[in-house]
Structure 1
């Protein structure tokens, strides 16, 4: 029998669908053809594989070789299928045993010498193969990412010759070292570095506890960026599943993954000149953008009005759905994008409106044009809007007060509040559905009438009503007590709202 089957995995967005590599040897003039919707890099694999097999002291069959990559409708790109194709050819020619291929998957690009080169974006394939209960052989250069998934089901190899020796029972392949799941992320900037700004600190704690989006408004140099950089540190630690998801996105984007610091929440701060594709992802072969790289972490947009209006508008759907679907003529991909938005802006073009120490020279029309760069629908999706005023110079050198808690202290309160939400609804308060919101934020008649009256006067939308309830629910969780939402919680939540 001159038919052999090996298994590999393609890359399709954040998914890693299985690819069955079928190799058939038949009579006729010697030739090699690859079918199954291969891109140029995959079609070129026939030359890489042929030379690699010859340089590994195996015989390349002088027969007609047909390689089928199934399913046929799935586009295949890159050199990740080289190892699976080479092993299929060798197995079809009875140079390696076919039965050893049954429960294994193979990923790796072949050099002409037969050495294995790393595969970009390999982490989703490793996770998927492990869930399917199969062993997977990958290049040793991908050991750092393989260490995050665990040992046992993942094997590392340096060359085609080493893999063939293992299949023949003439050696063993190494397993990656397992990353320490209990190691906390490295320390980041501390909340105690922020002097003053007690209202902004309070809002940041609420945002971390409930997963709410926040907008910081203030003159230049008042600490908006300092506050944003400290949000990941006070957020609850990522679970193993969340950390793997975030690392998988970084792997797809070609960014290095550090096993020693893999549980740190992402913090992405793209420049305001970033394009819409850079922010949400795209390209002929769709790649994740900044919002996906911030998955399970923080996306910081400094100088928010300086971003293109078109770029800002593409954020509206991901803010609601937690994912981004990218469609191109030949490829479609979906990437997760459950990020927490932290935006910062000046109150006016010159930045000094309302500053007691600097005169604002902007006209009312200039201020209006500046603020209308942020659309109402986008602003409506931001739960907390906070003024960050100038801190007196004397306060910068004054002794820290009792409310200037460090990051560890604030994180304890945030974790306690988040655990209440998870026990009650299984999700952060910012993600509560309307049904769960009506159950968990049921208001007494007096509080409900008061809230409805205030919101009617302000012309609030239904989305604003629900978001105020979610923020009030988070404030109640932080404060503890009986657990019900009270009027004081509603009043503070509305104080953070821009109508």
Structure 2
């Protein structure tokens, strides 16, 4: 038989597509042709597969070999097709009976010596295979734990091409995935480490409870970075669905830990202020890779020294912050990554940034305006909570710390507030107050009484708040009420929300 076919999976973004790898061997001058929109790595598979087959002790067929990847109109990227190409080629040459590989997905890159090397994106690939009804996969040994996360899929692993050949030809057992160990305990910095900063802690708690974006302004050393780094410690663990999404993104980026465990904690990304637009939102040649924005999906994207970031990089965040997705378009096609993040900005008030605060600032008013003007109005308008932190006093810094609430205490209140919001908005398909469309909050039965929103409406009419800002203050008020255990926000909640939004006393 000069024709054989096996299954593989290709990725476009984080979406997997089942691909049929066909091999046809015909008389003629020896050559290998790969069709089906392969990228450079796939074109180079001809040489990798040939060397791997020969070095695994198998005979290379000296015939005209055509490798076709179906569907032919779907772009194919990466080296995960190597193992499937080798199996299809040997099957077409009559060297292997492929009955044992019917409805089995093969994934893996081949080294020249025949070893099967790990590849990126195995989790979304196996998810796509399971969705297509293919419940058996063979993956590299290093990817076995990752593939085994998907329930209902039988995973086996190979370390060499020779092991796969022995399994197909002689029935030699393949390797089992490793047994998952106990989940890791909680770690990371604790909110109890932060000295003072009552307003900053309140803003952080409100942001965590409602899923709101947060901006922290103040002199260096006041605790802005410490507060931001402790935000994940007060957020609840990810649900099963969210954990799969986050783990799949890290799998595509090649950033999964070696144990291949589901990522249950909200991710935290803190890129340097020299990061480019591509590093933040994603990019690259061929298939665009996820950037820090998507790697922080369902978690926190922290931009320290935000005023030092390039303006283009900051402005590129505006649309994803509204839509929760980032669409990257290239000449050969586009891809889309999820990007539902909590954005946290931290910035000094001016270039000189005296630790003692504004009283000792040496900058002119124009220099101060120019510095913070790097954070554009449209970007700041999307930030719900904007807090100015003050310098820490000696009494606060040298206190024993017994009065500082730990992350566990704050996390319990955050979880209760989120549960209240999820129950209230369940019929509307929302879980967090920050996700609620503004027009719904302005209509009965969720519209607040006019007496409670008098000052808020006045700020809208005077132009000190935009319509977007009006809606965000209402969302904040609902979050404050949830934290304090009230069924609906009142006037005091709206006033506190205005203060958190504008940084002013209301």
TM-score relative to the length of structure 2: 0.92
Q: Secondary structure of 1:96's partner?
A: coil
What whole-Å deviation, never above 9, does each CA across 1:270-290 have from its counterpart, x for those lacking one? 111111111111111311111
Match of 1:484 among 473, 485, 488: 488
Paired position in structure 1 for 2:158: 157
For residue 269 of structure 1, report the CA deviation from its aligned partner: 1.0
Cα gap change, 1:31/1:205 in structure 2, threshold over 3 Å: closer, same or farther? same
Between 292-301 and 118-127, the greater mean CA deviation after superposition: 118-127
Paired position in structure 1 for 2:303: 301
The count of residues paired between Structure 1 and Structure 2 equals 495
Paired position in structure 2 for 1:17: 17
CA distance in 2, matches of 1:48, 1:322: 40
Paired position in structure 1 for 2:211: 211
Between 381-390 and 83-92, the greater mean CA deviation after superposition: 83-92
1:172-251 correspondence runs (5 A)? 172-179=173-180, 183=183, 185-251=185-251
Cα gap change, 1:272/1:339 in structure 2, threshold over 3 Å: closer, same or farther? same
Report if the CA contact (8 A) 2:90-2:96 is conserved. Answer: yes
Match of 2:320 among 314, 318, 332: 318
What whole-Å deviation, never above 9, does each CA across 1:31-61 have from its counterpart, x for those lacking one? 2211112222212222222232223233322
Report if the CA contact (8 A) 1:441-1:473 is conserved. Answer: no
Unpaired runs of at least 5, structure 1: none
CA distance in 2, matches of 1:230, 1:372: 27
Report if the CA contact (8 A) 1:149-1:178 is conserved. Answer: no
Cα gap change, 1:448/1:186 in structure 2, threshold over 3 Å: closer, same or farther? closer
CA distance in 2, matches of 1:401, 1:161: 62
For residue 20 of structure 1, report the CA deviation from its aligned partner: 1.4
Report if the CA contact (8 A) 1:325-1:335 is conserved. Answer: yes
CA distance in 2, matches of 1:309, 1:80: 38
CA distance in 1, matches of 2:337, 2:180: 25
For residue 354 of structure 1, report the CA deviation from its aligned partner: 8.0
For residue 386 of structure 1, report the CA deviation from its aligned partner: 0.5
Paired position in structure 1 for 2:466: 461
Report if the CA contact (8 A) 1:145-1:257 is conserved. Answer: no
For residue 440 of structure 1, report the CA deviation from its aligned partner: 6.6
Q: Secondary structure of 1:112's partner?
A: coil
Paired position in structure 2 for 1:139: 140
For residue 150 of structure 1, report the CA deviation from its aligned partner: 5.5
For residue 143 of structure 1, report the CA deviation from its aligned partner: 3.1
Paired position in structure 1 for 2:278: 277
Q: Secondary structure of 2:383's partner?
A: coil
Report if the CA contact (8 A) 2:211-2:342 is conserved. Answer: yes
Between 221-230 and 159-168, the greater mean CA deviation after superposition: 159-168
TM-score relative to the length of structure 1: 0.93
What whole-Å deviation, never above 9, does each CA across 1:109-150 have from its counterpart, x for those lacking one? 112222111112322212222333321111112234335446
1:5-154 correspondence runs (5 A)? 5-134=5-134, 135-149=136-150, 152-154=153-155
**Runs of 4+ in structure 1 over 6 Å off:** none
Paired position in structure 1 for 2:291: 289
Report if the CA contact (8 A) 1:8-1:18 is conserved. Answer: yes
Q: Secondary structure of 2:502's partner?
A: coil
Q: Secondary structure of 1:233's partner?
A: helix
Paired position in structure 1 for 2:476: 471
For residue 497 of structure 1, report the CA deviation from its aligned partner: 1.5
Report if the CA contact (8 A) 1:150-1:179 is conserved. Answer: no
Between 449-458 and 462-471, the greater mean CA deviation after superposition: 449-458
2:428 paired with 1:423: no
Report if the CA contact (8 A) 2:355-2:391 is conserved. Answer: no
Match of 1:333 among 332, 335, 344: 335
For residue 418 of structure 1, report the CA deviation from its aligned partner: 0.7
Report if the CA contact (8 A) 1:150-1:176 is conserved. Answer: no
Report if the CA contact (8 A) 1:106-1:137 is conserved. Answer: yes
Report if the CA contact (8 A) 2:326-2:338 is conserved. Answer: yes
Between 487-496 and 253-262, the greater mean CA deviation after superposition: 253-262
Between 51-60 and 332-341, the greater mean CA deviation after superposition: 51-60
Unpaired runs of at least 5, structure 2: none
CA distance in 2, matches of 1:489, 1:27: 80
For residue 222 of structure 1, report the CA deviation from its aligned partner: 0.3
Cα gap change, 1:377/1:468 in structure 2, threshold over 3 Å: closer, same or farther? same
Report if the CA contact (8 A) 2:157-2:176 is conserved. Answer: yes
Q: Secondary structure of 2:8's partner?
A: strand
Paired position in structure 2 for 1:407: 407
RMSD (Å) for aligned C-alpha atoms:
2.2
Q: Secondary structure of 1:497's partner?
A: helix
